[in-house]
Chain A
Amino acid sequence: MLFGYHWDLTSNWTFALSILPILLHGMLVTIEATLLGFFIAAVLGLVFAVLRGSPTRLISYPVAFIVEFFRDTPLLVQLYFLYFVLPNYGILLPAFMTGAVALGIQYSAYTSEVYRAGIEAVSRGQTEASRALNLSRADTFTRIILPQAVPRIIPALGNYLISIMKDVPVLSVVTVLEMLNVAKIIGDRTFQYLIPLTMVGGLYLLLTLFASFLVRALDTRLPKRGIPLK
C-alpha cells in the first residue's frame, strides 16, 4: 500500500491498473519539482548572466568560474552536498525544496548561457545601429535588444524545462517521492519491477512528448523578428 492505494497482484493488468494512481501521484510531484526547479534556474541564470556581463572583472570572472563549476559537476553530488552539508550550517530545508534548489543550481549554468547567447546574437549589429540613432543605453536594451532576444530565449529555456523534468528522478536519493521513486518502492515491496518501471518510462515519454509539443508550438507562435512593441 502506498498513498492509501492497494495493489492487486492477481494479473499483470490488474497490477498495472492498481498502481497507476500511485504513479500519477508521483508524477504530480515530478511536475511540481520540475516547475520549481525551472523557476529557480530561470531566475538564478538571469542573475548570473547579468553579473557575468559586468564590466568589472572582479565580478564577471568569479561568476564565470562558478557557472562553469555548476555546469561541470553532477547534479547528484550537488544534491548530496546541499542535503548533507547545509544542515551543518543551520540551513534546514525539506528534501523536496533541497531537490528543487539543486535542480535550479545545476540548470542555472545552462540558462545563463541561453540568456547570454540570446542577447549577444541580437546585440552586435543592433547596438551600433541604435547608437547611430542616438538611442539611450536603456532604450536600446529594453526597446531594441530584448524584444528580439526573447523569442530566441524562450524556446531554449523550454528545452531545459524538459531536461529538468528528466533529471527529477535523481531527487529520489533524498527520499523525494517522485515517479521513479514510487515505482522503485512498489518494486521493492512486490518484487515486480518490470511493470512499474516500464509504466514510468511510458509516462515519461508522454510527458516529454507533450512538453516538446508545447515548446514547439510556442516557438512557432513567437514572432521571429521580435515582439512588437505597442
Chain B
Amino acid sequence: MLDMLPTLLGGAWVTVELTFWSTLIGALCSFAFGIGRLSGNPVVKSVSVAYIEVFRGTSLLVQMFWIFFALPLMGVSLSPMTAGIAALSLNIGAYGAEVVRGAIQAVPKSQYEASRALNFTSWQALWYVALPQALPEMLPPFGNLAVQNLKDTALVSLITLSDLAFRAESLRNLTQKSTEIYGMTLLIYFALALVLTAVMKVLEKRIGRWKAGGGR
C-alpha cells in the first residue's frame, strides 16, 4: 500500500499547484469584476454582470469541458493545465466577485462622504479607504472559496491532467485496491484542506489587525 503513496503525493503536488494558481488568478478576477460590477461605466458594469451571472449560473464541469473541447473548434487550443486553471479561476472568480462586491457595499456610506470631504478621487476613496476596510470582511468567505477551489481541482482529472484524483483513478485501474487508494486520496485532500484553512486563518489575523485593537 505504501508503494502507491509517492505516486499519489506526486499528484497531490499538481493539485497544490493548480489550487495556488487558480486561487490567485481567481482572486484577481474577483476584484476586477466585483469592482467592475459597482462601476458607473455601463459597459464595464454589464460585462461584469454578464461574467458573474454566466459563471455562477452554469456548472464548473460544463465550463471546463467547454474551454477544453469546444474552444479549440473556435481556434483556441489550450493545454490541459491552462484550460484547467482558466476554468477554475474564472469559476471561483465569479463567486469571489460577489464577495468583493458585498464587502465593498458594506463599507458605510459615511466613509465615502468623509473621503469626498477630504477631496479624494473616487479611485483613491476605493483604494485607500473602502478596500482596506472591506478586505477583512472578505477573507472568511474567501477562505471557504479557496477550499471549494481545492476540491474543484479534482475535476481537471477529467480533462486528462494528472493530478491527485487522476492518479488515484489510474492506480485503481492497475491494482484494483480501491479501498486503500481512495481512502488515502480522500485523506490527502482532507489534509490539504486543513492546511489551506489554517493559512487563510493566519491571513485573516494579519490583515484584520486594526480590528483586533479596536473596541471602545
Report A's interface with B, CB cutoff 8 A. Answer: 69, 71-78, 80-81, 84-85, 88, 165-170, 172-173, 180, 183-184, 187, 192-194, 197-198, 200-201, 204-205, 208-209
Contacts and interface: CB of A to CB of B under 8 A. Distances in A.
Contacts of A187: 69-70
B182 A168 contact: no
A116 B2 CA distance: 39
Query: Which 10 A/B pairs are nearest by Cβ-Cβ distance?
Result: A72-B193, A74-B154, A84-B178, A193-B69, A169-B61, A81-B182, A74-B151, A204-B58, A166-B59, A194-B70
Contact of A169 (B62, B168, B185): B62
Contacts of A172: 61
A85 B186 CA distance: 13
B115 to A, nearest CB: 34
A77 B182 contact: yes
B190 A72 contact: yes
A193 B83 CA distance: 15
B170 to A, nearest CB: 12
A180 B65 contact: yes
Given A77-B185, A187-B70, 17 more contacts: A72-B190, A73-B151, A74-B153, A74-B154, A80-B172, A80-B178, A81-B178, A84-B172, A193-B65, A194-B70, A194-B74, A197-B70, A201-B62, A201-B66, A204-B57, A204-B62, A208-B57
B154 A77 contact: yes
A71 B172 CA distance: 24
Contacts of B154: 74-77
A72 B182 contact: no
Contacts of A198: 66, 70
Contacts of B172: 80, 84
A20 to B, nearest CB: 16
Contacts of A204: 57-59, 62
A76 B178 contact: no
Contacts of B56: 208
Interface in B46-83: 53-54, 56-63, 65-66, 69-70, 73-74
B171 to A, nearest CB: 11
B147 interface: yes
B198 interface: no
Contacts of A167: 59
A63 to B, nearest CB: 16
B189 interface: yes
A81 B179 CA distance: 7
Contacts of B59: 165-169, 180, 204
B182 A166 contact: no
Contact of B165 (A74, A184, A194, A205): A74
A72 B63 contact: no
B147 A72 contact: yes
A168 B70 CA distance: 20
Given A74-B152, A201-B58, A194 B186 contact: no
A183 B54 CA distance: 19
B182 A170 contact: no
A168 B61 CA distance: 9
